Amino acid sequence: MSSDKNMQRFGKVAVLMGGSSAEREISLKSGAAILDALKTSGVNAEAIDVSDDVFSKLKKGAYNCAFIALHGPLGEDGCIQGGLEVMGMPFTGSGVMASSICMNKLMTKQIWSGSGIPTPKFRILDANIDEDELVTDLGLPMIFKPVSQGSSIGMTKVSNKSEIAAAWASAHQFEETVIAEQWIQGGEYTVGILNGVALPVIRLETPHTFYDYEAKYQSNDTQYHCPCGLPEVLEKKIQALAIEAFNATEATGWGRVDVMLDKNSKPWFLEVNTVPGMTDHSLVPMAAKESGISFNELVIKILATSFKEDSETFSTATSSKISEIRNAV
């Protein structure tokens, strides 16, 4: 796949990065790493810092494909995907509907709840919170989340009733809809998905209250364990359920599914990230490396999933792995 001839089949690739969301800086880092990998592999790629005229830039530049490296609203919520579909331009990752669903934690959890996929109990909140009722329903601690922000932005752990108002205000400053979610005490794990295949599970260990923005992108104290240290049967069960959770939202191509494992080793699924980070702290590249896939190879495999024929070939080549995972449950 690394020959110049193979790389030429992608044509001219636009790496879409930046944008205006709260995750802009992370997106620029992901985009820069992706761009470097594409160029190193011989792909004709250029960066576009996304703004209002992005579609005219794509048309004027005569690009053949878009590698989406945008995080947060606009890039992950189906907006950019819709414009690209109208243009008829292939792009990496999920389509409009799945992107919109996965960007919205509430919609994702509602779909999972109806599909039998375990996800923590939750409540939709507004300014008129009945604190006693909320505590009775979800217990303490709990966690407050704005429903459509990534990178743990706006999230707060609530350990007692007196913290509820401030936690709601912190989340509400980012968007109108806020949820409170039952706190699952246990280990934090994540599962990368690459074209229908679950990558090795990563266990996250941080001295922070949870795997928040600082732990993800700034802290040197966060530890990543891959192999994750779980018994093989349990890891395969989590992988199989992660694929089900991913597919339930109709997500495609690649992504990441976050999960908690409680004291009884029961997995609880939190969210799907349809455009995971691709920085030096990022998790999908780490899991891919454990599978023997270098960063440059991973970027090319992700790009290849934007073309139907490449996705089918890749899926056929790895179908035995999928069967092995599912049959182990």
* Residue positions annotated with a catalytic role: 23, 151, 217, 256, 258, 271, 273, 277
Look at the alpha carbons of 298, 299, 300, 303 in this order and tell me if their dihedral is positive or negative: positive
- Distance, in Å, from the CA atom of 301 to the CA atom of 298, rounded to the nearest integer, reads 5
Does residue 67 contact residue 13 with C-beta atoms inside 8 Å? Answer: yes
Tallying the residues shown for the chain, one arrives at 329
Three-class DSSP category at 9: coil
Look at the alpha carbons of 22, 23, 27, 29 in this order and tell me if their dihedral is positive or negative: positive
**Cβ-based burial of 224 (10 A; exposed 0-12, middle 13-18, buried ≥19):** middle
- Whether the bond between 227 and the residue before it is cis, its omega within 30 degrees of 0, is yes
Does residue 34 contact residue 65 with C-beta atoms inside 8 Å? Answer: no
